[in-house]
């Protein structure tokens, strides 16, 4: 878990401001919260093993080798990892155990990794960092720090389970919502905001917030659902979109550009547009919920079950003006 030494080292002057917020949250997680207490026991039960090697560069992030553990340790580890279901982002391999996650997050990373500004010696924020899959990729580039923000406890504890073995000392994940964080004015060099904007009731306020925590010239890596077309407009689902009840705005790329210009960004580049396929998002034995195939109309896979255009995502880079 995040301790004061780590926070002071990575967050400088902001550590003092964040510590009381974090202490209050941790008291909730380990006090009244049943999930929090269960997950803490899971972390404590993880077998103590030192991985002989790690590999965060390959698509499947690998921790250790199967030869590093005994059959008994393997059973214990498998049991702990299953306690942390559902595994949405990945894939991972831990000591020979493959975690096939709902999302092939490597596909998104491979679309953007060669386009973004180098991350060496940079201060990075990953909003909605989930179990840290992308943070681990970023760590390989020797950043000054990577701060992940992840309020959902299952993913937050998955991150800590993985970090038990990876031990990257420049990473820190906070179990907070972005709106619970103080605005760290002009502090970050790069902000990743991926899979977040369509969940915000007020996307422009979110972009303004991101702008204010970026240094001038810093880079936003924005990945979000888009509507295909050239018109300057956004879809607002009446109720659910692909069975999600928290999707508010799905803009076209020109509309997204306008939002970015109006919130203080320039040099806006759309580097990728991809329709989500079942190769990228699918049910696996590590995810006990519905997935893409359940969200699309079986008679017309170009439509969601609600009759909206099926999910298409864009990756946009923009510089803080
Ligand atoms: C669709 S997932 C995207 C995960 C990852 N960034 C990616 O692109 O694959 C959205 C993530 O944001 C987290 N999240 C939800 N509300 C949030 C908030 N208010 N602040 C920060 N993260 C949030 C969710 O728990 C989830 O892990």
Strands 300-304 and 296-297: antiparallel
pLDDT at 12: 87
pLDDT band at 30 (very low <50, low <70, confident <90, very high): confident
Q: What is the pLDDT of residues 47-61, one digit of tens each?
A: 999 999 999 999 999
Please tell me the residue having the least CA distance from ligand 1 atom 13: 128
Question: What pLDDT score was predicted for residue 263?
Answer: 98
Q: How far is the CA of 196 from the centre of ligand 1 (A)?
A: 6
**What average pLDDT does the segment 257-263 reach?**
98
* Contact predicate 129/118, CB 8 Å: no
Q: What HEC string does the chain produce?
A: CCCHHHHHHHHCCHHHHHHHHHHHHHHHHHCCCHHHHHHHHHHHHCCCCCCCCEECCCCCEEECCHHHCCHHHHHHHHHHHHHCCCCCEECEEECCEEECCCEEHHHHHHHHCCCCCCCCCCEEEEECCCCCHHHHHHHCCCCCEEEEECCCHHHHHHHHHHHHHHCCCCEEEECCCHHHCCCCCCCEEEEEEECCHHHCCCHHHHHHHHHHHEEEEEEEEEEEEECCCCCCCEECCCCCECCECCCCCEECHHHHHHHHHHCCEEEEEEEEEEECCCCCECCCCCCCCCCHHHHEECCEEEEECCCCECCEEEEEEEEEC
Q: For residue 66, how far is its CA from the centre of ligand 1 (angstroms)?
A: 31
Q: Which residue has the tokens 């030494």?
A: 5
Whole-number pLDDT of residue 8: 86
Tell me the CA–centroid distance for residue 127 and ligand 1, in Å: 7
Indicate the top mutation candidate among 91, 106, 126, 130 to test ligand 1's pocket, ranked by most ligand atoms within 8 A of CB.
130
* Ligand 1 centroid to residue 195 C-alpha, Å: 6
Res. 233: pLDDT tops 80: yes
CA-nearest residue, atom 22 of ligand 1: 128
Q: To test ligand 1's pocket by mutation, which of 89, 137, 194, 196 has the most ligand atoms within 8 angstroms of CB?
A: 196
CA of 33 to the centre of ligand 1 (A): 20
Our answer on whether the CB atom of 133 is closer than 6 Å to any ligand 1 atom is no
pLDDT tens track for 128-150: 999 999 999 999 999 999 999 99
Task: Tell me, using a 6 A CB cutoff, whether residue 150 lines ligand 1.
Answer: yes
Going by pLDDT thresholds of 50, 70 and 90, the confidence category of residue 3 is: confident
**C-beta separation of 47 from 76 below 8 A:** yes
46 lines ligand 1 (CB under 6 A): no
pLDDT digits (tens, 9 = 90+) for 76-114: 999 999 999 999 999 999 999 999 999 999 999 999 999
The CA 193 to ligand 1 mean position distance, Å, reads: 9
pLDDT in tens, 156-167: 999 999 999 999
- Least confidently predicted of 6-15, 141-150, 172-181, 225-234: 6-15
* Contacting residues for 149 by C-beta, under 8 A, at least 6 apart: 125, 126, 127, 128, 129, 173, 174, 176, 177, 178, 181
* Band of residue 249 on the pLDDT scale cut at 50, 70, 90: very high
pLDDT value for 277? 96
Radius of gyration of the chain (CA): 20
Report the pLDDT value the prediction gives residue 6, as an integer from 0 to 100. Answer: 86
Q: What is the pLDDT of residue 72?
A: 97
220 lines ligand 1 (CB under 6 A): no
Residue 130, ligand 1, Cβ within 6 A: yes
Q: Which is higher by pLDDT, 237 or 293?
A: 237
> At 44, is the pLDDT very low, low, confident or very high (cuts 50, 70, 90)?
very high
């Amino acid at each position: 878990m995040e301790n004061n030494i780590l926070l002071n080292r990575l967050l400088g002057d902001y550590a003092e401001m964040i510590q009381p917020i974090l202490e209050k949250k941790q008291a909730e997680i380990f006090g009244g919260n049943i999930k929090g207490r269960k997950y803490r026991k899971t972390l404590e039960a993880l077998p103590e093993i030192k991985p002989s090697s790690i590999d965060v560069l390959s698509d499947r992030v690998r921790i250790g080798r199967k030869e590093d553990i005994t059959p008994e340790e393997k059973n214990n580890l498998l049991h702990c990892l299953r306690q942390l279901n559902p595994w949405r982002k990945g894939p991972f391999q831990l000591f020979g155990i493959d975690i096939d996650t709902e999302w092939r997050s490597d596909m998104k990373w491979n679309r953007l990794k060669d386009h973004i500004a180098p991350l060496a010696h940079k201060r990075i924020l990953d909003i909605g960092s989930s179990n840290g899959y992308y943070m681990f990729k970023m760590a390989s580039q020797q950043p000054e720090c990577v701060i992940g923000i992840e309020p959902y406890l299952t993913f937050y504890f998955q991150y800590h389970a993985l970090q038990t073995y990876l031990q990257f000392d420049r990473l820190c994940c906070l179990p907070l919502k972005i709106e619970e964080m103080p605005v760290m004015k002009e502090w970050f060099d790069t902000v990743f905001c991926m899979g977040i904007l369509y969940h915000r009731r007020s996307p422009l306020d979110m972009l303004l917030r991101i702008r204010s925590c970026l240094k001038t010239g810093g880079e936003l890596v924005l990945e979000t659902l888009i509507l295909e077309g050239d018109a300057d407009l956004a879809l607002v689902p009446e109720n659910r979109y692909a069975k999600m009840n928290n999707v508010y705005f799905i803009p076209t790329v020109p509309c997204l550009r306008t939002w970015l210009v109006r919130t203080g960004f320039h040099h806006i580049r759309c580097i990728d547009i991809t329709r989500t396929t079942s190769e990228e998002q699918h049910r696996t034995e590590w995810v006990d919920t519905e997935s893409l195939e359940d969200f699309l109309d079986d008679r017309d896979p170009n439509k969601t079950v609600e009759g909206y255009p099926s999910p298409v995502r864009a990756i946009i880079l923009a510089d803080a003006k």
